[in-house]
Amino acid sequence: MHMTHYICTGGCGGVSEKEGTCQAITCPKHGVPLTACDCADGKHEGKQDRDAKEEAEKNKKA
Ligand SMILES: [Zn+2]
Ligand SMILES: [Zn+2]
């Protein structure tokens, strides 16, 4: 059994049970609609990881 949930792919790691937008003010995707995900293992099929890694790369250079 799994539930559809909504994740932020901006790197803040935000997860919501309801559809909505990212609430993390420091997140690059603040105010951007969350991405629907229905994974059962909490890994979000790598959706969150991939973008978070990109953010980490940016932060490294800055
Ligand atoms: Zn976010
Ligand atoms: Zn998920």
Instruction: Please tell me the number of the ligand nearest to residue 39's CA.
Output: 2
Helices (H), 1-62: 47-61
Ligand 2 centroid – CA 3 distance (Å): 9
Ligand 2 centroid – CA 34 distance (Å): 11
Ligand 1 centroid – CA 54 distance (Å): 14
Q: What is the pLDDT of residue 46?
A: 87
Could you give the number of structural domains in the chain?
1
Ligand 1 centroid – CA 57 distance (Å): 17
Phi, psi of 16 (to 5 degrees): -130, 145
- Distance, CA of 6 to CA of 34 (rounded, Å): 5
Query: Each residue of 1-60: pLDDT tens digit?
Result: 578 999 999 999 999 999 999 999 999 999 999 999 999 998 998 888 755 555 566 667
Tokens, residue 56: 């980490």
**Domain boundaries, position 31:** 5-61
